[in-house]
Every structure is written in C-alpha cells, then in structure tokens.
C-alpha cells in the first residue's frame, strides 16, 4: 500500500535556509563544492515560480519553506550545469527505479532521493565509503541483500540497489511514521535520529532541523530532495527544456558462466565493452565472477538470442575462462615479468584480475592475484535465457586456517563463495574462525 499520498503545502518562514546548508556530496565528476548562498534577487525570481500549481501530482509530502526555496534556487543557478547533467541521466534509470518502488508498494517520487544522493550515477562514491545510486555503505547494503566482494559491488547495480533502498526506506517509514523522518534517517542513520527525537522531544523534522543535534548534511538532505523533485517534474518551468535526455535503458537478462572476460561477451553480443559495463556497473573486474557457476547480466534488448549463443559458444572454444585466483606475495627484487614467467600467465590476464590499467605499480611484499583457468571451455548450454559452461567435478578437501586469514580471503583463494564455506562447516554469521581450525572446502 502506498504511503504519503497526501500533498502538503506549508509556507514555513521561520527557518533560516543556511541551517540546511553544507550537505556533503559524493565524490564523482558531477559533484562540486557548495557555493555561496544565492543572491536575494535570485531568491525573489524563484519565489514567483513556486506556486501551488507547480507542485502538484506528487506522492510524497511536499513542503514549501525557506529551505526548499533556497535549494530550488541553488539547483537552478549556482549548480545549474550539474543539475542539468542529473536530468539528462535521469531518464536512463527513473523508469526502472519507479517500477521497483511501485512493486515494493512505495511512493514513486522517492526516486528523487537517489537524484540527490548520486545524480543517478551508479559509480558515485563518498568519503564515507558509501557507493552507488542510493549511496549504501557496505554494512547496510549487505543487510538488505547486496553482495560486495572482490568481483562485484551490487550497491552499483541500479536495479538491485533500488530494491534494497525500497526495503530500507519501508523499514524506516514503519519505524518513524513519516517520510521526512524516514529520509533523514536514511542519511543520518536510525540511531542518530532516535537520539535527536529523544533529546528535543519532537517528531517534527522541521523542528529538529533547527538544532545541531542533526548533522548539517541531514538538515539539508530533506529540502534538497523536495527541491530536486519539484524541478525534475517541472523542468521546462525552470528553464531545463533543452537538457537532451538520454533514452531509458532497455535490456534483456542472460545467464552466462562465471569467469568469462567481458570483452568476449561484448564481442559475442556485437557491442562495445563499455556498453556492457554501463549495463552491468556492479562488475568490478573485466570478467564475470569466477566463483559463480552462472552469473546473470544485462545485454541490450536488440541482441538476438540465437546469434549471441552461437557466437559466444564459438569464442569460448578459443578463449580463456577464469576459474579462480591464487594470492601471491611479491618477493624482494622480484619483478612482474618474473611473476609472469614463473606462473605462465600473460600480462593482460594478470592486469585484468588485479584491476590494473596501464603498468603495474606495486611494492615488494604486496599481494597480487594469479589467475587460474578452467580446462573446460565448452560452448555451454542454455540456462534461463543465457549460457552456462559445461559442469565440472568438484572435490572436497580440508584447509587449515593460518594467522591473518579470513573466510573472505580463503573463499577468494579457492574461488568459492563464503556462504558455501559457512554451510559446509556450519559456521554462523556471528561465529569466528580460529587459527589452526580445519575447514571443509568443495573446490571446482
């Protein structure tokens, strides 16, 4: 059931907009330092546009006050160029994001929270290590089902991260009973907002925003969302009619085997590798995660199934398929060239799995990863609309835990999932592993 369907108009003149000033922004090319406050003349020009008929048809509460007016002016003057880029990119993702929010029973206009968080940039990141269009930190992302490991960061997946954000926002609304507070908690965290409510004995966000108990970033966050929504739903009224919007993404989902280079998949699909990466921004390396027997990715909806299957099958017969990685510590006076000779791998393969573009710049004693390859390079078979390589035998053996090892490093070493190690050894989420313990590993 949708929440927050009422449209609220509050002309609140008692709050200084500078109380909301200074939100920390994620660091990507769209981000700029906060400018000086808009001039009085600019504020007066915007006032004429902010009439009740300009803020209609919203499914989240809309408040018109000094803070919102300030950020409408800010986005249309000092930050106009940046906001224009956000608008251009918005059409790529908004249709899909709104569909997810609708399916999860949430107001579709919550999509503008992602606009303020990241400008709809899947690769946006912040100094606080938040990432993706919805700016999840790793801990919260994992709590809502997003995988973050060496190979992928699903916080950058525009579909999966929207599902996670919808469920998080739903929980916050259920906890605080108000979309203003839910948005504030999304930014500041539930506990910090709870402390602010207890300290000042009010559940009115605009009252809480008068006090420094909430960070300046959070006090700016809610009015920025409202301002962004007002402009984005009425771009022509604010002079953005020539923004040159990008077309919405249209794609099909395919299942391919793990360990395939993205350039091989792109070649089979007849597209550039950059286009494949744009559709699958969660993939961090140049290959599908090797530990996965199969991996679901997106291809343009123009790709023909039979042609893609035939091309990929032919390419896999002559291409390397990665099985897993082996950690290797560089010895004193050891060069990358000697590592390549010792392990019989190419520079291209070594650079690919280590995420290196250009030349290797590593210190002696650093750990790098050596790729190992599948002997089976068969064309594979159709699985749920995609391809998967032929199955291969998995053997069970034991690994003795060494000092400094973690489940993640062990899983990475053998190319298996952490969850599989936990399941085989009956390890709970709160359990720790001891040095010297023997773990069952089922290796491909």
Looking at the predicted structure, is the pLDDT value of residue 193 above 50? Answer: yes
The pLDDT, as a whole number, for residue 52 is: 63
Residues in the chain: 444
The pLDDT, as a whole number, for residue 42 is: 52
Q: How far is CA 343 from CA 328, 337, 338, 372, in A?
A: 10, 10, 9, 9
Q: The domain 393-444 belongs to what CATH superfamily? A: LysM domain (3.10.350.10)
* Contact status, residue 249 vs residue 97, Cβ threshold 8 Å: no
Is 322-373 assigned to CATH 3.10.350? yes
The model's confidence at residue 70, banded by pLDDT at 50, 70 and 90, is very high
Distance of CA 262 to the CA centre of its chain: 19
* pLDDT tens digit sequence for 346-384: 998 998 888 887 788 877 788 888 988 886 554 333 333
* pLDDT tens digit sequence for 82-135: 999 999 999 999 999 999 999 999 999 999 999 999 999 999 999 989 999 999
Name, in order, each residue with C-beta under 8 angstroms of 23's C-beta and a sequence gap of 6 or more: 34, 216, 217, 218, 220, 221, 224
Distance of CA 378 to the CA centre of its chain: 33
Average pLDDT over residues 272-289: 95
CATH of 11-238, one of 3.40.50.970, 3.90.1150.10, 1.10.530.10, 1.10.3720.10: 1.10.530.10
Burial environment of residue 220 by CB neighbours within 10 A (0 to 12, 13 to 18, 19 or more) = buried
Q: How far is CA 143 from CA 43, 128, 139, 200, in A?
A: 42, 18, 6, 30
Average pLDDT over residues 292-311: 90
The model's confidence at residue 143, banded by pLDDT at 50, 70 and 90, is very high
Record the pTM: 0.75
* pLDDT tens digit sequence for 26-60: 444 444 444 444 555 554 555 566 666 666 789 99
């Amino acid at each position: 059931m949708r929440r927050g369907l009422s449209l609220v108009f509050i002309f609140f003149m008692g709050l200084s907009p500078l109380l909301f000033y200074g939100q920390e922004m994620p660091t990507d090319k769209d981000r700029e330092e906060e400018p000086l406050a808009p001039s009085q003349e600019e504020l007066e020009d915007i006032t004429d546009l902010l009439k009740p008929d300009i803020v209609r048809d919203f499914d989240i509460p809309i408040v018109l006050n000094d803070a919102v007016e300030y950020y409408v002016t800010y986005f249309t003057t000092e930050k106009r160029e940046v906001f224009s880029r956000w608008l251009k990119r918005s059409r790529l993702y908004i249709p899909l994001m709104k569909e997810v929010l609708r399916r999860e029973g949430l107001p579709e206009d919550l999509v503008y929270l992602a606009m303020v968080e990241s400008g709809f940039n899947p690769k946006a990141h912040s100094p606080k290590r938040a990432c993706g269009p919805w700016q999840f930190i790793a801990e919260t992302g994992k709590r809502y089902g997003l995988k973050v490991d060496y190979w992928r960061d699903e916080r950058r997946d525009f579909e999966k991260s929207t599902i996670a954000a919808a469920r998080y926002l739903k929980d916050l609304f259920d906890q605080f009973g108000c979309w203003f507070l839910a948005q504030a908690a999304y930014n500041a965290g539930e506990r910090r907002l709870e402390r602010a409510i207890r300290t000042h004995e009010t559940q009115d966000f605009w009252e809480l925003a008068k006090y420094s108990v909430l960070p300046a970033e959070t006090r700016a966050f809610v009015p920025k969302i409202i301002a962004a929504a007002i402009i984005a739903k009425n771009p022509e009224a604010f002079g953005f009619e020539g923004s040159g919007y990008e077309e919405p993404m249209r794609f099909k989902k395919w299942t391919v085997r793990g360990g395939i280079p993205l350039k091989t998949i792109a070649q089979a699909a007849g597209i550039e590798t950059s286009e494949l990466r744009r559709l699958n921004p969660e993939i961090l390396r140049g290959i599908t995660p090797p530990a996965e027997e199969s991996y679901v990715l997106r291809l343009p909806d123009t790709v023909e199934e039979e042609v893609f299957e035939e091309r990929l099958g032919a390419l896999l017969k002559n291409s390397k398929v990665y099985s897993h990685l082996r950690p290797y510590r560089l010895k004193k006076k050891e060069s990358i060239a000697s590592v390549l000779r010792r392990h019989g791998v190419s520079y291209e393969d070594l650079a690919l799995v280590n995420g290196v573009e250009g030349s290797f710049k590593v210190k002696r004693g650093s750990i790098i990863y050596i790729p190992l390859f599948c002997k089976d390079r068969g064309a594979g078979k159709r699985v749920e609309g995609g391809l998967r390589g032929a199955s291969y035998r998995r053997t069970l053996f034991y690994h003795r835990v060494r000092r400094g090892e973690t489940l993640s490093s062990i899983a990475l070493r053998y190319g298996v999932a952490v969850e599989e190690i936990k399941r085989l050894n009956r390890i709970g989420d709160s359990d720790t592993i001891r040095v010297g313990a023997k773990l069952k590993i089922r290796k491909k």
